[in-house]
Amino acid sequence: MPSKLSRVALFGGTFDPPHRGHVAIARAAADRFALDTVLFAPAGRQPLKPEGCSTDYAERLEMTRLVCAEDARFAVSELDAPRKDGQPNYTVRTLEMLAEEMPGAAIFSIAGADSFRSLGHWREPQRLLELADWIVISRPGFLLAEPDGLALTPEQRARVHLLDAVHEDVSATGLRTRLAHGESCDELLTPSVAAFIAEHGLYRS
Ligand code: ATP
């Protein structure tokens, strides 16, 4: 774990699979905000994705581990591992756990513009805005905007940082569709993840 006064960002997602867009996002955020660590935390059960994932948590964790080898500032985190009580993983709890684990650290949370727009529907949005500085990444097709239905105070707005530096038009949904049709997506994946998907026969229809 990084030292006490470090700058650390939680990067939550389903990572089903992790792709080059994720790598570009984490790099741009780490560069711009001088982050020591970006913690990629695959979600066990995402409350806003009731349809679930195409792969199991262990596979997503392993693919995320492979992606984290791309940059010395990246680390994989099991903070969002499936809960023993079967409850969904809420980001508010994950950020609280991170703050407990790293007292004194500057804590950031990274989200794409699409995810951040929905923040008002997440559990305890006000607390979420207190627990971390938010790095919101531009995403093709989505405006960098305030969360739907939430009026941010000037203090909250000062802790939301828009990062219009990533223009990778890649989504895991699009990747899964292409992979199910037997198309190669190697240009959108790291070689390590592409090899893992091929070896384990993932996402085939
Ligand atoms: P899916 O298509 O399955 O919803 P995804 O590609 O959006 O997946 P997630 O694992 O849900 O990937 O993404 C984790 C985070 O990364 C989310 O906050 C999402 O908004 C963001 N993200 C993913 N791809 C991009 C992209 N191309 N540009 C900006 N943000 C992105």
pLDDT per residue as tens digits for the range 8-54: 999 999 999 999 999 999 999 999 999 999 999 999 877 776 667 78
SS3 sequence of 131-185: HCEEEEECECCECCCCCCCCCCCHHHHHCEEEECCCCCCCCHHHHHHHHHCCCCC
Q: For 115-169, write each residue's pLDDT tens digit.
A: 999 999 999 999 999 999 999 998 877 766 778 888 899 999 999 999 987 777 8
Q: Residue 53: inside a domain, yes or no?
A: yes
- Give the distance (Å) from ligand 1 centre to CA of residue 103: 28
Q: Residue 177: inside a domain, yes or no?
A: no
Atom 25 of ligand 1, residue of closest alpha carbon: 21
Q: Residue 186: inside a domain, yes or no?
A: no
Q: Residue 15: inside a domain, yes or no?
A: yes
Residue 114 CA to residue 126 CA, distance in Å, equals 18
Q: Is the CB of 70 under 6 A from ligand 1?
A: no
- Mutation choice for ligand 1 from 15, 19, 25, CB with most ligand atoms inside 8 A: 25
Atom 21 of ligand 1, residue of closest alpha carbon: 112
Domain count, the chain: 1
- Domain containing residue 14: CATH number: 3.40.50.620
Range of the domain at 121: 7-169
Q: Residue 183: inside a domain, yes or no?
A: no
Q: Is the CB of 74 under 6 A from ligand 1?
A: no
Q: Which atom of ligand 1 is nearest to the CA of 21?
A: 27
Q: Is the CB of 63 under 6 A from ligand 1?
A: no
Q: Residue 88: inside a domain, yes or no?
A: yes
Q: Residue 194: inside a domain, yes or no?
A: no
Q: Which two tokens stand for residue 125?
A: 């949005």
Q: Is the CB of 15 under 6 A from ligand 1?
A: yes
Q: Residue 98: inside a domain, yes or no?
A: yes
Cα-based distances in Å from 133 to 43, 81, 99, 105, 112: 20, 23, 12, 12, 14
Q: Which two tokens stand for residue 84?
A: 């023993």
Q: For 61-117, write each residue's pLDDT tens digit.
A: 999 999 999 999 999 999 999 988 888 889 999 999 999 999 999 999 999 998 999
Q: What is the ipTM of this complex?
A: 0.94
- Give the distance (Å) from ligand 1 centre to CA of residue 102: 26
Q: Is the CB of 203 under 6 A from ligand 1?
A: no
